[in-house]
Amino acid sequence: MQAYYELLRSTSRTFSVGIETLPEPLRKAVTLAYLVLRVSDYYEDSPALSEEEKRAGLLHWAQLVEASPELPDPEDLSPLRRNLSPLDQDLPDHRAAREAGFILDGLSTLPPRFREPIQRHTADTTRGMARWTTRGDDFPDEAALDEYMFEVAGRVGILLTELFAAHSPRIRRKREALDEVAVSFGLGLQTVNVIRGLHEDPARGWSYIPRHLLFDVSGEASPRLDLRGLDRPAQERILGFLVRKARGHISDALRYCQLLPRTERGIRIFCVIPALLAARTALLSQSNPRVFEEPVKVARPEVAGIVLRSRLLFFSNGWLEWERRRVLTSLIGPAPGAGPPAPGRSE
């Protein structure tokens, strides 16, 4: 299994920090679920592939994932290999896509209680990506954007909750409450990814900004609009829309963390780290027009601090509630009815 963890680290150092806190065999299951989706991400996001190559790769990959535990014949993998562009070879997702057969081998070894949810949800997500590759990035309104984001991220929140419940009887008893905010957890991370990609998405011919908002800020509703050329008020309105959207979802993500049993240390830490990193990224992005020109990154010392606090305070619902209220009050002003942050324990 060590080779899968090394592949994980080569595709996402930040994610691997959290996953390494998970207990086995859950750690193996989440690692493989993540790697399956990194292959899907390659075929959705590659700047070198045509629309038809992306769609063909995604649909074929979904079919192979669903076939597990039957291992693919080398000939079954050849359509995927044909759609791998050497122009993308330095991209982390390309590394995962090159190892598609190896990832399927690992998936086939999982117990059914882990393998079957991964197959179902990742195949659904991958087919959703294929539909949107064909449909394109013309989001007429926020509802259309939400539909897309559910396909690529909301389902991941549901998948993780199923995997956690398969591992832990305590989590199974809290399943109903967790399900209420699981989708929002995934949407929070995805919305922050949209903010982080504002500088590079236009280069791959993609825009997540709904047409109605583009028209309001510029008088032009084309998704091909160069956001870098907008004036400062227009850019601030777009950022405000995305940060407000992230704000509610990140608040739900921290509620999700609070609902997890405090005895499940590794699972709590795994969830808290990305929620707090998303909150910090959103805070650094708001009212910052440079996000349209360069990536927003949380500095390494800050990342280390978030990881350390998560490891030390994972059990404290009081701390998590303080962080949640800080999100509500620091991102685009206070929420209606929200009181000031109050550190302490409320367990």
Residue 45's pLDDT band (cuts 50, 70, 90) = confident
Check pLDDT > 80 for residue 203.
Answer: no
Where are the chain's structural domains? 1-136, 148-204+242-347
Dihedral sign for Cα atoms in the order 166, 167, 173, 179: negative
Overall average pLDDT of the 55-75 stretch = 89
Q: For residue 222, what are the CA distances in angstroms to 137, 138, 207?
A: 10, 8, 9
Confidence (pLDDT) at 251: 96
Name every residue whose Cβ is closer than 8 Å to that of residue 307 and which is 6 or more positions away in sequence.
Answer: 17, 273
Euclidean distance between CA atoms 180 and 90, whole angstroms: 38
Confidence (pLDDT) at 225: 79
- Of 62, 68, 16, 10, the C-alpha closest to 37 is 62
Euclidean distance between CA atoms 91 and 93, whole angstroms: 5
Confidence (pLDDT) at 204: 67
**pLDDT tens profile 222-248:** 777 788 888 888 899 999 999 999 999
Class of 148-204+242-347 per CATH? mainly alpha
Q: What percent of the chain has pLDDT over 90?
A: 65
Check pLDDT > 50 for residue 342.
Answer: no
* Whether this model's pTM surpasses 0.85: yes
Check pLDDT > 90 for residue 81.
Answer: no
**pLDDT tens profile 266-305:** 999 999 999 999 999 999 999 788 899 888 889 999 999 9
Look up residue 238 and give its two tokens.
Answer: 């777009």
**pLDDT tens profile 127-183:** 999 999 888 887 899 999 999 999 989 999 999 999 999 999 999 999 999 999 999
